[in-house]
Structure 1
Amino acid sequence: MSLRLSPYLMMNGNAKEAIQFYEKALGAKLLFNQTFGEMPKNPEFPLPEEAKELVAHAMIKVGETDLMFSDTFPGQTSQIGDQVTICITTNDIEKSNQIFKSLQQDGQVKMPLQETFFSPAYGIVTDKFGVTFQIYTEGQQ
């Protein structure tokens, strides 16, 4: 079983600009970038035209560290202080469940741990100290 913690920056529509800035300022290398428009369509949540070019998920490498990015999904709000979350990555669904359940005690579930198109178990929880974690399980669905 593997387990990694990575900083995840939630941007308010300027993730592309931030990535370009960190590439220059920190010598970062872009590893992955996907826009909301490149995600599978969901008829229950139609994507506004102006959101199609926003970053759904991106990763850069700064030295030995991965730094992840996303713009907030259209309709969600973001405020200063909510920009930085911690992404906990594992390749074990049972471990993801255990971590998620532990962190939600006296905390708040923002997105239940569930299967998504990009992960067999993904969820977002803010713990009792106000720290928000994204639990991401690697692996094939």
Structure 2
Amino acid sequence: MRHHIRATRRAALTVTVLAVAAGLAACGGAQKVSGRLDTTRHVAEVTSLGKRPHMVRSCRPGTKRVKHTSGRGSSKRTWYTTENTSVCSSVQKGTETYRRVDSPARWCVRLDDVGRKSRDDVWYRVGKSVYLDAQNLDSGDRMTFSPEHDGC
């Protein structure tokens, strides 16, 4: 019975690993693409101004009651004192303006002669380093990279 449970778990794990690998391959994250450089495109980051609460730390004087004991057994004596402390909390004081990223920057490369007609003239989203490498090449030079995503 134990062997059957282990075999079932192993099969389920294998199916999960294969599904994840297929998902990565479909996204283009695991497969390399090779072809001739057609053109590049940089889509700048889009930002806007937003407002959010401005939180400040506010402290005020306070007191706390402290218990003291001395002695042992039946001769134990207990007394209380009041100590001064600071009570702090975070409170809203107005608003602050910040820059919100609405759409992150994207770097894209388009390839020709990829090997399959359906993959020719397709935009690939790449990392900044691959984009900079493509900028240093001439149109028509061969290039191989792993795209982050199809489309730009």
When the two structures are superposed, what TM-score results if normalisation uses the length of structure 2?
0.21
Which structure has the greater CA radius of gyration?
2
Specify which structure has the higher proportion of strand.
2
